[in-house]
Amino acid sequence: MAFAPADMIQPLAGGALIGLSAGLLRLGTGQIAGISGIVRRAIRGPERGWQLAFLAGVLAAGAMAAWRSGEQLAAGLERASLPMLVAAGLLVGLGTGLGNGCTSGHGICGLARLSKRSLLAVPTFMAAAALMVFVRRWGGWL
């Protein structure tokens, strides 16, 4: 295990900001901060105004973070092959569309409101993701 107690400060602080964002959106507007759903609505409508504003905020945050930490922000992405990214993107898109949520919609908003569906979806996608990494490790392409 590669872990020191100080390593949990940034994940915890970052998580708290994400939780604040989800809570602010819920309290302020009644909406759920699920990224896959927000992206889908922003493209397909029928209502796309607040979704586009939210996505603009995320991209602006990305620009600030890129300015501060550069390529370290996306460490590991430089080794990703394009065919693998296409396959992964399709799986993520299909899966979040069918399952109606991703790490944010199910993992944070769904669990925050104790949705039965999210309580089942989160361990399912965690287990599938760990399985994929396990297969990649033993197949020698991690």
Touching another protein, residues 35-64 (CB under 8 A)? 35-36, 39-40, 43-44, 49-51, 53-64
CA distance 43 to 52: 9
- Min dist CB 29 to another protein, Å, is 5
- Min dist CB 110 to another protein, Å, is 7
Give the x/- contact pattern for another protein in 83-122, rule: CB under 8 A. -xxxxxxxxxxxxxxxxx-xxx-xxxxxxxx-xxxx-xxx
CA distance 64 to 137: 34
What radius of gyration do the chain's Cα atoms show?
Answer: 17
Q: Write out the DSSP string of 64-100.
A: HHHHHHGGGGGTTGGG--HHHHHHHHHHHHHHHHHHT
23 binds another protein (CB under 8 A): yes
10 binds another protein (CB under 8 A): yes
Number of residues lying near another protein (CB under 8 A): 113
Cβ neighbour number for residue 97 with a 10 Å cutoff? 13
- Min dist CB 129 to another protein, Å, is 4
77 binds another protein (CB under 8 A): yes
Contact 97, 40 (CB under 8 A): yes
26 binds another protein (CB under 8 A): yes
